Amino acid sequence: MGKLQLRKVKILGTGKYMPSRRVTDEELDRLLGVPAGWTGKITGVGERRYAAEGETSSYMGARAAEMALESAGLNFADIDCLVCTSGTKEQPLPSTAVFIQQAMGEEDSGVPAFDMDATCLSFLNGLDVMSYLVDSGRYRRVLLVATEIASAGLNWADKESAALFGDGAAAVVIGQAEPGEASRIVYASMKTYSRGARYSEIAGGGTRRHASQYSADRPEPFLFSMNGQAIFRMASKLLPEFLDGLLAPSGTRLEDIRLVIPHQGSAMAMRLLRKKLGIAEDRFFDNTRNHGNTIAASIPMGLHEAIAQRRIRRGDRVLMLGTAAGLSLGGLLLDY
């Protein structure tokens, strides 16, 4: 067995914000110029939300953060650090976390605020890294916020990927578990295989292809691009061994896990992967329908919904699992 990474860290509260604009499959059929029913068949989403005017990433993140604090019975003054764990940014500089702090009315608080980005695995990466700082006592309580506006950068000519995504935000407050409490992080792992780096990307907007090079005649480098089939083929080969390596150090079996909360990539991909990994349907949380793929917000949204729906209770073992651009695989095992 590998070395355990036990951290006595507890999920204190969760929150979620869904933007106001509802976008149905039927509306996307018309927008994309495809036959009626095509979007529903390809995505299985039904309805997703797009940010309306005024619903910036920081606004949405702030509202989700306020809900998480309320559910934890805390105020912003009880927080030592604010981390934005998103795959999209409100602007290149400064970090989105700064604007979330501002949108919460806490611009003079001095609470450190910064971003951590591992695209769709940003929340898992942030939870993993920051839990060590909480466990060590460096911070007492950390507010993690994933807020995503995918709709701003979709390439409508790439119909299949454009139809998958939705906007939204989720937030989680973590703190040290009290003595005697079962809550803890058991084990986490992340592996990156950069052979797949170009399978999912926005090539423009950074220093290699600066925004000053943007042309309305050829906007594609500055829009989202994804080879979904290549990602699925690569991930499906790698995930079984990855999952074994994630569970083995703690001696955890799939039947010991109350609920698997995956990154909600696409309904079809999740159905196939669930069967390939041998996860029972009643232990697999799928909220793609009415959400779509909300990038890094999808896993904390799933966690929030699973708690609200009482699919998990204190002491239950939970697995959060996903893939991300990179190509990266990530998972985190916790006792809620």
Q: What is the pLDDT of residue 3?
A: 66
What's the full length of the chain, in residues? 336
Tell me the pairing of strands 9-17 and 168-176: antiparallel
Mean pLDDT score, 109-117: 98
Residues in a beta bridge with 184: 335
Cα 263 to the center of its chain, rounded Å: 6
Mean pLDDT of the chain: 95
Mean pLDDT score, 159-168: 94
Closest Cα to residue 332, out of 211, 160, 172? 172
Q: What is the DSSP letter of 63?
A: H
Q: Which of 153-157, 163-167, 179-183, 287-291 shows the lowest mean pLDDT across its residues?
A: 287-291
Active-site residue identified among 81, 84, 263, 304: 263
Residue 118 CB neighbours (<10 A): 23
**Domain ranges across the chain:** 9-176, 184-335
Closest Cα to residue 59, out of 20, 93, 111, 115? 20
Question: What whole-number percentage of the chain has pLDDT above 70?
Answer: 99
pLDDT digits (tens, 9 = 90+) for 7-24: 999 999 999 999 999 999
Identify the residue whose tokens are 């910036």.
56
Which token pair is 272?
A: 């196939």
Active-site residue identified among 120, 287, 291, 304: 120
120 assigned to active site: yes
- Give ∠ CA 97-331-223 in degrees, rounded to 5: 50
pLDDT digits (tens, 9 = 90+) for 303-323: 999 999 999 999 999 999 999
Q: What is the pLDDT of residue 151?
A: 96
293 assigned to active site: yes
287 assigned to active site: no
Mean pLDDT score, 178-199: 97
Q: What is the pLDDT of residue 4?
A: 77
Which token pair is 226?
A: 């994804």
**pLDDT exceeds 50 at position 143:** yes
Contacts of 12 (CB under 8 A, 6+ apart): 72, 74, 141, 173, 174, 175
More confident residue, 266 or 336: 336
* Superfamily of chain region 184-335: Thiolase/Chalcone synthase (3.40.47.10)
282 phi/psi in degrees, rounded to 5: -75, -5
CA pair distance 276, 271, nearest whole angstrom: 9
Q: What is the pLDDT of residue 253?
A: 96
pLDDT digits (tens, 9 = 90+) for 202-260: 999 999 999 999 999 999 999 999 998 899 899 999 999 999 999 999 999 999 999 99
**pLDDT exceeds 50 at position 110:** yes
**pLDDT exceeds 50 at position 1:** no
pLDDT digits (tens, 9 = 90+) for 28-62: 999 999 999 999 998 889 999 999 999 999 999 99
Amino acid at 34: V
CA dihedral sign of residues 226, 232, 234, 240? positive
End-to-end CA distance of the chain: give it in Å, rounded.
23
**In CATH terms, are 9-176 and 184-335 the same topology?**
yes
* CB-based contact 83:131 (threshold 8 Å): no
Task: Tell me the CATH number for domain 9-176.
Answer: 3.40.47.10
Which token pair is 286?
A: 């799928």
